[in-house]
DNA sequence: TACCAGGTCCTCG
DNA sequence: CGAGGACATGGT
């Protein structure tokens, strides 16, 4: 599997996917666009983005897209808002913990937090595993950390590549690409797009990308 | 009606 | 350490 060639093939097949960061950048009161990304990373764990959007919109409407607001809002209130995203008990706790970390370690400044936090520090937070940590660092922090998810593993398997661990997949992709956060960002989004396309019924898997294996 | 969705944690062998 | 189960809602 040629990692870079596969990227170009996916990009030409699907075009840019327009993930984070978004362009909505005006800093209205109670709205922190970087924090929104961090929240999205948690909420989308094993959950469709469509469901996550309901929660993000509700948080926005209630001016809760900021660490301080999440830290002080009643857990029961937050639980109801998180509900459409599933796992609402766990995710409510995860958001509270994340917000508290940003307050404690960066005075509530999400941009400073994600710019200075180590990957290990993120992983030490309850509810942040390797994929969530890398998503945060890549999409909120603009750092070149490749994100591995189930679709990524499927794409590899599709090309006859199987690794033993998250870290091995990550090394496999990182080693095959320029260390460019923009490429990592778009590539992961394209892989998700590919995975969705592929899993659709009535639409058999198409071979996308190189097959220089065998 | 089942299965799946941009995973993680906990428990057990 | 790896496998297996729990967590929960909404769309198809």
- Full-model pTM: 0.92
More confident position, A7 or A27: A7
* pLDDT-based confidence at residue A200 (cuts at 50, 70, 90): low
Q: CA(A41)–C1'(C8) in Å?
A: 17
- Is the pLDDT score of A160 beyond 90? yes
Query: d(Cα A57, Cα A52) in Å, to the nearest integer?
Result: 9
pLDDT tens digits, A65-83: 999 999 999 999 999 999 9
A30-67 pLDDT tens trace? 789 999 999 999 999 999 999 999 999 999 999 999 99
How many Å apart are A114 CA and C6 C1'? 30
Q: Which nucleotides of C are covered by protein (CB under 7 A)?
A: 2, 7-12
Question: CB-hemisphere CA count at 13 Å for A183?
Answer: 14
Quote the pLDDT of residue A175: 97
């Amino acid at each position: 599997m040629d990692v870079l060639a596969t990227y170009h093939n996916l990009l030409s097949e699907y075009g840019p996917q327009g993930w984070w960061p978004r362009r909505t950048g005006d800093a209205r009161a109670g709205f922190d666009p970087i924090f929104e990304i961090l929240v999205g990373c948690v909420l989308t764990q094993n959950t469709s983005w469509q469901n996550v959007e309901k929660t993000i919109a509700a948080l926005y409407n209630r001016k809760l897209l900021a660490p301080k607001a999440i830290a002080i809002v009643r857990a029961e209130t937050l639980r109801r808002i998180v509900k459409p995203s599933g796992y609402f008990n766990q995710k409510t706790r995860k958001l509270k913990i994340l917000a508290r970390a940003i307050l404690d370690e960066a005075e509530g400044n999400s941009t400073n937090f994600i710019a200075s936090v180590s990957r290990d520090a993120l992983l030490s937070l309850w509810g942040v595993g390797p994929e969530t940590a890398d998503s945060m660092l890549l999409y909120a922090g603009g750092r070149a950390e490749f994100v591995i998810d189930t679709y990524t593993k499927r794409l590899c398997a599709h090309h006859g590549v199987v690794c033993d661990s998250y870290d091995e997949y990550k090394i496999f992709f990182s080693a095959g690409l320029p260390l460019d956060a923009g490429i990592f960002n778009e590539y992961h989004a394209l892989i998700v797009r590919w995975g969705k396309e592929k899993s659709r019924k009535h639409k058999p898997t198409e071979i996308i990308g190189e097959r220089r294996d065998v």
